[in-house]
Structure 1
Amino acid sequence: MSHQPIISRRTFAGGTALAAAALALPALRAQTKLEKNKIALAVGGKAAFYYLPLTISEQLGYFKAEGLDVEISDFAGGARALQAVVGGSADVCSGAYEHTINLQSKNQMFQAFVLQGRAPQIAFGVSTKNMPNFKSVAELKGKKIGVSAPGSSTNMMANLVLSRAGLKPGDVSFIGVGTAAGALAALRSGQIDALSNTDPVMTMLEQKGEVKIISDTRTLKGTIDVFGGPMPAACLYAPTEFIQKNPNTCQALANAIVHGLKWLQTAGPGDIIKTVPESYLLGDRGLYLASFNKVRESISPDGIIPDDGVKTALKALASFDPAIKPDKIDLSKTYTNAFARRAKEKFKA
């Protein structure tokens, strides 16, 4: 199927602007030489709205415009993507901010440097097929709960919901189901009793009455209800040492993401459909767009990580993970807004 005719006037204008910018670029590039222009980036569940800004920046050529050649590897969930960076097969992770706190508690220093989402966009739902008479979270004891991948932020959200009902992570079985067609199939076939996952998956199940949503962070209000404050979600993070050695490269990455965030501020549903790969729609364009409208406000407008949000994240993690001691964590080392602020200024985001 050819995608030629779909090029909108806007993309075409953008293309000519890019060409003009490319002519002017050598002068700019001389001032800030990238320490590393080939970047291996790991992400867990790229088709989810959670990482929409990453996909937009990639598809619209914003990484290339910054002189970067970014190779994106997609894993089943954030915990797997993180392992790729820890193991050295990827340079940068597109993942949940709270991983930087977890890592610091294990004496591994990582830093988030540009925000994609200002709400986790995760919903927790119980299968109406397996548990039609569901009344309280306590009934999930001994049940199977689907998450994107064990140890990912979907797992963290499930742990939080369970802990508030007096259940420990060991009281249930967590099963990794990814964030796309596999998650839908696992719930529909009855393999799992509940699911903690992102959109578009959760909206698709909710609209068809297949799950009963019991906890929801797809909106800013829902996030405050669940976490007690703003909660930074998807971001780009990397080992602190990598950021110190490659400041211009990290600036270019932050620029590309903030450029994508700026585009998303005014993009209509039709623009999104034209830009994301067809497979992301999971076979239902209408429901995909319904999900987009639901999570739209949770996309960061400018890439800046909120200072009060990092405190919320620490409090949430410490509430169910005894290995995390809040007084031993230096939050100021888990994130920096230096790159995002410069990018925000550059693109007037």
Structure 2
Amino acid sequence: MTPSFPISRRTFAGAAACGAAALAFPALHAQGKLEKTKIALAVGGKAAFYYLPLTITEQLGYFKAEGLEVEISDFAGGARALQAVVGGSADVVSGAYEHTINLQSKNQMFQAFVLQGRAPQIAFGVSTKNMPNYKSVADLRGKKIGVSAPGSSTNMMANLVLSRAGLKASDVSFIGVGTSAGALAALRSGQIDAMSNTDPVMTMLEQKGDVKIISDTRTLKGTMDVFGGPMPAACLYAPMDFIQKNPNTCQALANAIVHGLKWLQTAGPGDIIKTVPENYLLGDRGLYLASFNKVRDAIALDGILPEEGAKTALRALASFDPSIKADKIDLSKTYTNEFARRAKDKFKA
């Protein structure tokens, strides 16, 4: 359901700006008939802040404003959401950018076309209950590590941390725990010894003393420390042939997301609470807001994916995954900023 708000000065200014944008960019406004108005979109862990721009865009009716009917299917993690598109039950994924690199290494061409997150927003922590004497990453050998879903970006982050300490993925057991209440329960009940996951889950565990954070990409600074450069995160991506056959539809999707990003630039914590579904708060409004403040600067501003960020992602993946040969990947085919640039112009994001 789309919440109804009284018209505020910001809403009015936003509407005026949109009107001005329509006059200034008549060709954009008349971007052509949508090839497809019904879109099946797959996401892995929609309640996470990682996908907040998607939720905001949906809840405020921005997809509908672009003439789209978007049906969102939520899976346990990004790898599962990707399987839905590969299997043909979804058109587009809202997921981690690095999947496009992974897929290209397997000769499957997917392309990201609008960015939602400019930092991975993933934290890796060890259980204070199961590992009270933790000293270094080497202590994780033989342990159970919770991730949103095996093969997801949370798994990738854990692999990176392990590889830097000389451990291989096969030295631990990865267990899919989702990104919400199930993840909290798995860690607190002692089913797992450590966890790589997103907010609000990780902040909730951290503030209650359930985890000790050992690697953190919830801020731009933390991301630079871990990856050595900007690291693009959530984006909308799809098979390249889908994008080529449905350019107007992809433009409408990018417009809607960038509209949501523009709203998020000035939204206060109270606006967020009013807009997201109640169950996303995981029963603790205060901690949810504390998490939002922590990841706020990780949200993309205008939907454009930085070239340097694509290089960082490739470097990170190639560092621990021997199947990814950096010299064989054509990064220019893993993303396009064509749609996001038009959307940025339209909404002055």
Give the TM-score normalised by structure 2: 0.94
Q: Does 1:295 align with 2:295?
A: yes
Q: Does 1:224 align with 2:221?
A: no
State the match for 2:247 in structure 1. 247
Q: Distance in 1 between matches of 2:63 and 2:286?
A: 29
Q: Count how many residue pairs are aligned between Structure 1 and Structure 2.
A: 343
- Could you list the runs of 5+ residues in structure 1 that have no partner in the other structure? none
Q: Distance in 1 between matches of 2:144 and 2:291?
A: 25
Aligned residue identity for 1:341: R
Deviation at 1:32, TM superposition (A): 1.2
- SS of 1:158's equivalent in the other structure is helix
- Could you list the runs of 5+ residues in structure 2 that have no partner in the other structure? none
Displaced runs of 4 or more, over 4 A? 11-14, 27-31
- SS of 2:311's equivalent in the other structure is helix
Deviation at 1:9, TM superposition (A): 3.8
Q: Distance in 2 between matches of 1:11 and 1:173?
A: 52
Deviation at 1:3, TM superposition (A): 10
Q: Deviations over 1:216-263 (max 9, x none)?
A: 000001001000100000000000000000000000000000000000
Q: Distance in 1 between matches of 2:297 and 2:29?
A: 34
- SS of 2:40's equivalent in the other structure is strand
Q: Distance in 2 between matches of 1:113 and 1:39?
A: 15
1:10 to 8, 11, 24: 8
Q: Does 1:192 align with 2:192?
A: yes
State the match for 2:145 in structure 1. 145
Q: Deviations over 1:85-123 (max 9, x none)?
A: 000100000000000000000000000000000000000
Provide closer, same or farther for how the CA distance between residues 33 and 184 of structure 1 changes in structure 2, counting only shifts above 3 A: same
State the match for 1:55 in structure 2. 55
Aligned residue identity for 1:307: E
Aligned residue identity for 1:218: R
State the match for 2:346 in structure 1. 346
Q: Does 1:330 align with 2:322?
A: no
Residue pair 2:31, 2:248 contacting (<8 A) in 1 also: no
Q: Distance in 2 between matches of 1:3 and 1:87?
A: 30
State the match for 2:99 in structure 1. 99
Deviation at 1:33, TM superposition (A): 0.2
After the TM superposition, which residues 116-131 of structure 1 pair with which residues of structure 2 at under 5 Å, given as runs? 116-131=116-131
Deviation at 1:17, TM superposition (A): 5.2
After the TM superposition, which residues 296-315 of structure 1 pair with which residues of structure 2 at under 5 Å, given as runs? 296-315=296-315
Deviation at 1:208, TM superposition (A): 0.6
- SS of 1:70's equivalent in the other structure is strand
- SS of 2:113's equivalent in the other structure is strand
- SS of 1:202's equivalent in the other structure is helix
Deviation at 1:213, TM superposition (A): 0.1
After the TM superposition, which residues 8-47 of structure 1 pair with which residues of structure 2 at under 5 Å, given as runs? 8-10=6-8, 32-47=32-47
Q: Distance in 2 between matches of 1:238 and 1:295?
A: 26
Give the TM-score normalised by structure 1: 0.94
Q: Deviations over 1:186-230 (max 9, x none)?
A: 000000000000000000000011000000000001001000100
Provide closer, same or farther for how the CA distance between residues 98 and 11 of structure 1 changes in structure 2, counting only shifts above 3 A: farther
Deviation at 1:13, TM superposition (A): 5.2
Residue pair 2:148, 2:155 contacting (<8 A) in 1 also: yes
State the match for 2:86 in structure 1. 86
Provide closer, same or farther for how the CA distance between residues 266 and 29 of structure 1 changes in structure 2, counting only shifts above 3 A: closer
Q: Distance in 2 between matches of 1:28 and 1:293?
A: 34
After the TM superposition, which residues 151-230 of structure 1 pair with which residues of structure 2 at under 5 Å, given as runs? 151-230=151-230
Q: Distance in 1 between matches of 2:278 and 2:39?
A: 25
- SS of 2:71's equivalent in the other structure is strand
Q: Deviations over 1:55-85 (max 9, x none)?
A: 0000000000000000000000000000000
Q: Distance in 1 between matches of 2:6 and 2:223?
A: 35
Deviation at 1:305, TM superposition (A): 0.1
Aligned residue identity for 1:116: Q
Q: Distance in 2 between matches of 1:58 and 1:311?
A: 31
Aligned residue identity for 2:72: I
Deviation at 1:7, TM superposition (A): 3.1
Deviation at 1:28, TM superposition (A): 8.4
